[in-house]
């Protein structure tokens, strides 16, 4: 599925009023990505929704992709800009493979490249409207980092984008530990995704969980979480709210 990038064509024949238009706001977007380290590698989760404004238009958008031999990328934000980033990375990995020197780019190098790309586009006032999560394993070392649309980046034991920054990371701070097994890591990610499904209007109950270890990347088939909607707070959420209808 290819999405048309949200840029207007340039036409210099009509004068300065028709100059290139920048991305003023995203068109088709994906919501949160949540990722964590576990004892054998990295686990990452994202749903498959693509929102056209406030309309949940697409429900089969894959937002996690393997990058080279050692890395896994997840993205929230503008889908067409994510596709552009994947094209950049395809060129980077192809150029690296052409050296045929027995070495390959690791997750730290790919993450550093993405921070430069995002910051460079921000300085041109033409940002790629995404928040990216990059995780991987190379030579027994796990790596997990993120970068947002203006180039702000960091590494951590667990990261999240979008609403996940506000709703999932408190759960991760409380329950994550460095000896997390694969099964416990999946349960923790599912708990985070369930909270996001309840509270984020752009979330959809169709998600994938990916893992990356020394053996490579595995991305699960899409599946749905078991949910419960009979909480009393869900029955009339506006009751007692000042200014509600």
The verdict on residue 212 lying in a domain is yes
Contact 48, 209 (CB under 8 A): no
* Model pTM score: 0.87
The verdict on residue 160 lying in a domain is yes
Q: How far apart are CA 45 and CA 63, in angstroms?
A: 9
The verdict on residue 13 lying in a domain is no
Query: Any idea what DSSP says for residue 202?
Result: T
Instruction: For 27-75, give the DSSP string.
Output: SEEE--EEEEEETTEEEEEEE--EEETTEEEES----EEEETTTEEEEE
The verdict on residue 15 lying in a domain is no
Average pLDDT, the chain: 90
**Domain around 120:** 28-223
pLDDT tens per residue across span 176-219: 999 999 999 999 999 999 999 999 999 999 999 999 999 999 99
pLDDT at 10 over 50: no
Q: How far apart are CA 30 and CA 74, in angstroms?
A: 10
pLDDT tens per residue across span 136-145: 999 999 999 9
The count of residues in the chain is 245
Tokens standing for residue 26: 């995203």
Beta-ladder partners of 153: 147
Report the number of distinct structural domains present in the chain: 1
Tokens standing for residue 146: 């993120």
The verdict on residue 16 lying in a domain is no
pLDDT of residue 197: 96
Average pLDDT for 211-237: 91
Scan for tokens 């006032």, then name that residue: 125
pLDDT of residue 1: 59
The verdict on residue 99 lying in a domain is yes
Q: Which residues are catalytic?
A: 23
pLDDT band at 236 (very low <50, low <70, confident <90, very high): confident
CATH code, 99: 3.60.20.10
pLDDT of residue 241: 75
The verdict on residue 114 lying in a domain is yes
pLDDT at 44 over 60: yes
pLDDT of residue 12: 47
The verdict on residue 40 lying in a domain is yes
């Amino acid at each position: 599925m290819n999405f048309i990038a949200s840029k207007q064509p340039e036409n210099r024949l009509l004068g300065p009023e028709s100059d290139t238009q920048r991305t003023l706001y995203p068109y088709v977007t994906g919501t949160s990505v949540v990722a964590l380290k576990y004892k054998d590698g990295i686990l990452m989760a994202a749903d498959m929704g693509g929102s056209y404004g406030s309309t949940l238009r697409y429900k089969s958008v894959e937002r996690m992709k393997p990058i080279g031999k050692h890395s896994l990328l997840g993205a929230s934000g503008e889908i067409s800009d994510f596709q552009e980033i994947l094209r950049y990375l395809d060129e980077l990995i192809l150029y690296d493979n052409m050296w045929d020197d027995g070495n390959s780019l690791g997750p730290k190098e790919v993450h550093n490249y993405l921070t430069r790309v995002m910051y460079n586009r921000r300085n041109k006032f033409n940002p790629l409207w995404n928040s990216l999560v990059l995780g991987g394993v190379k030579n027994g070392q796990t790596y997990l980092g993120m970068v947002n649309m203006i180039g702000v980046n960091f590494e951590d034991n667990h990261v999240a984008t979008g609403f996940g920054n506000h709703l999932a990371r408190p759960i991760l701070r409380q329950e994550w530990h460095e000896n997390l097994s694969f099964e416990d890591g999946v349960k923790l990610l599912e708990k985070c995704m369930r909270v996001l499904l309840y509270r984020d209007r752009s979330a959809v109950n169709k998600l994938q969980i990916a893992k990356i270890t020394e053996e490579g990347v595995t991305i699960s088939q899409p599946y749905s979480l078991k949910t419960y909607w009979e909480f009393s707070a869900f029955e009339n959420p506006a009751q007692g709210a000042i200014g509600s209808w």
